[in-house]
Chain A
Amino acid sequence: MKKVVRGFYSVAYSVKLCRPNVICAYPITPQTEIVENLAAMYANGELGEAEYITAESEFGAASMLVGASAAGARVFTATCSQGLILMSEVLFNAAGMRLPIVLVNTNRALSAPLSIWNDHQDSMAMRDAGIMQVYVENNQEAHDMIPQAYKVAENKKVLLPFMVCMDGYKLTHAYEPVDLLEQEMVDSFLPPYEPAAYMTTKKPLAFGCYAPPHIYMEFRVAMQQAMERAKDVMLDVFKEWAEVSGRDWGGHITVDFPDSKIFVVAMGSVVGLLRKVVEELRNEGLSVGLIKIRTFRPFPVEELREALKDAEKVIVLDRSVSFGYEGPVSIELKSAIYGYSSAEIYSFAVGLGGRDMPKDFLAKIIRDVAEGKERPGFAFKGYQEFEEVIP
């Protein structure tokens, strides 16, 4: 049933349909209304047997979820920014313990300076945790991604946490028509969670035990192998979703106009606007295509190699920076296509801390690259000239 709802509700409603056993969260802008909606559903008795636990911090929330997940519960949390990095100690553990926790990160900039607005710096800080990361373009994709996230994470070949990344404000606060899923359909798509191992009071277990040097490395190799298997599992799940829901969001990446000479690569909500920009530039006669990276972890290495093998110029729009180098998406992309493509790579960090990225701004970047006005390498775009002064 199509309804005009906010991004928050599209996530909360989808979580409800997945029949979680334990939801535990701490409010943080711009995630708050996701968990407020879930708390309201809980208070109204709409969450069945689920427990909703109000945590005293994100660290507490993540810790409780680790316990609940180890006890065999299907769990959910949402957070972002400072909350996500406060969770990070626990989430690295959750990945190592191979707990299929599903969380939504409403992408927000990191302090300092304090910013509640949108960029991707927070989830990028979790890049190496062993958590799957998918970036969604709109609220329908966010809504659809939750059942898929559980199905991938809980697959016995995978068993790793899954983070759905949706842009804070740009998606969370936006009202969009969303085709809300039916309980029956989600039930048939997502079977009840059957944990690989779980503890009870009668059968106590310890998770993530001490591993001395002679054995630690093997566990990390196992995590990498699980991530690699996740790539295939995701494709199966994405495909099944397209069949049962009628909405095909594509694989690990989507490519618009694959025969183009220039490609723009981006993740998240900006992709929607870029699609329009690319279309207009093509009408002007520019050979430009668009690549949307959906799964950032596991990284779509082969897919990008294939898509960019004949590209002449690649423009990567990053929403975060690895200070001292460049944007993480650009770093990963270069590493992935090294030796497979001779394209020049133009890496731009844009829209940090909610800085607006209007259509004309994005079009100018692409046009400048096409006309040879930019040099390959890294640059920030869309900031004011400044001089640092001591106050």
Chain B
Amino acid sequence: MKIKLNLGAISEPLQSEKLKTGDWGTHYPVVDKEKCNGCKTCEQYCPDLCIEVKEVGEEKYAVVDYNYCKGCGICASVCPFEAIKMELKDIFKV
């Protein structure tokens, strides 16, 4: 599918709200719900407020906001249970 490209990179106001910066990164975090116990360490360390522990029914685990996550990997690095893994995005796979 062809993408739409504005002539001269011309943009209307307030487009930044629609700008999903999540595609900036090369990697993205994947949470293993089994290993995650909802300790919120990742939540506190995320520099972009992009990971949040949510209660879903009986379970409690970290949920990533991929719209804005830039894939820095801090959450994976600080997780005490090794419940978060950084995966390379498909478009960067050679």
- A residues with a Cβ closer than 8 A to B are 96-99, 159, 196-197, 204-209, 211-215, 218-219, 222
Hey, which chain B residues are within 8 Å of A206, CB to CB? 10-13, 15
Hey, which chain B residues are within 8 Å of A97, CB to CB? 8-10
Least distance between B52 CB and chain A CB atoms (Å): 24
Hey, which chain B residues are within 8 Å of A222, CB to CB? 5, 7
Task: Evaluate contact between B13 and A208: CB separation under 8 angstroms.
Answer: no
With A212-B24, A214-B23 in contact, do A205 and B12 touch (Cβ < 8 Å)? yes
Hey, which chain A residues are within 8 Å of B12, CB to CB? 204-206
CA distance A197 to B10 in the complex (A): 8
CB-nearest residue of chain A to B23 = A214
Hey, which chain A residues are within 8 Å of B21, CB to CB? 212
With A212-B24, A214-B23, A218-B3 in contact, do A204 and B8 touch (Cβ < 8 Å)? no
Task: Evaluate contact between A209 and B11: CB separation under 8 angstroms.
Answer: yes
CA distance A73 to B87 in the complex (A): 49
User: Which one of B8, B12, B15 has the highest number of Cβ atoms from chain A below 10 Å of its Cβ?
Assistant: B8
Hey, which chain A residues are within 8 Å of B7, CB to CB? 98, 159, 196-197, 222
Task: Evaluate contact between A219 and B5: CB separation under 8 angstroms.
Answer: yes
Once A and B bind, how many residue pairs between them come within 8 Å at the CB atom?
51
CA distance A222 to B7 in the complex (A): 9
CA distance A222 to B3 in the complex (A): 12
CA distance A356 to B3 in the complex (A): 54
Q: List 29 A-B contacts (CB under 8 A).
A: A97-B10, A98-B7, A99-B8, A159-B7, A159-B8, A197-B7, A197-B10, A204-B13, A205-B10, A205-B11, A205-B13, A206-B10, A207-B8, A207-B10, A208-B9, A208-B10, A209-B6, A209-B15, A212-B23, A212-B24, A214-B23, A214-B24, A215-B3, A218-B3, A218-B5, A219-B5, A219-B9, A222-B5, A222-B7
- Neighbour of A96 across the interface among B8, B11, B23, B24, CB < 8 A: B8
CA distance A208 to B7 in the complex (A): 9
CB-nearest residue of chain A to B26 = A213
Other than the given A99-B8, A197-B8, A212-B23, 19 more pairs (CB < 8 A) read A96-B8, A97-B10, A98-B8, A159-B8, A196-B7, A197-B10, A204-B12, A206-B10, A207-B9, A207-B10, A209-B6, A209-B11, A209-B15, A212-B21, A214-B23, A215-B5, A218-B3, A219-B5, A222-B5
CA distance A289 to B40 in the complex (A): 79
CA distance A219 to B11 in the complex (A): 13
Least distance between B47 CB and chain A CB atoms (Å): 18
Hey, which chain A residues are within 8 Å of B3, CB to CB? 215, 218
CB-nearest residue of chain A to B24 = A212
CA distance A214 to B21 in the complex (A): 11
Hey, which chain A residues are within 8 Å of B10, CB to CB? 97, 197, 205-209
Task: Evaluate contact between A96 and B13: CB separation under 8 angstroms.
Answer: no
Hey, which chain B residues are within 8 Å of A205, CB to CB? 10-13
CA distance A207 to B11 in the complex (A): 6
CA distance A218 to B7 in the complex (A): 11
Least distance between B66 CB and chain A CB atoms (Å): 14
Query: CB within 8 Å of A: which of B67-83?
Result: none
What 5 A-B pairs have minimum CB-CB distances, sorted nearest first?
A: A98-B8, A97-B8, A209-B11, A209-B9, A206-B11
CA distance A213 to B89 in the complex (A): 14
Least distance between B2 CB and chain A CB atoms (Å): 10
Task: Evaluate contact between B8 and A208: CB separation under 8 angstroms.
Answer: yes
Hey, which chain B residues are within 8 Å of A99, CB to CB? 8
Hey, which chain B residues are within 8 Å of A213, CB to CB? 24
CA distance A211 to B6 in the complex (A): 11
Task: Evaluate contact between A211 and B9: CB separation under 8 angstroms.
Answer: yes
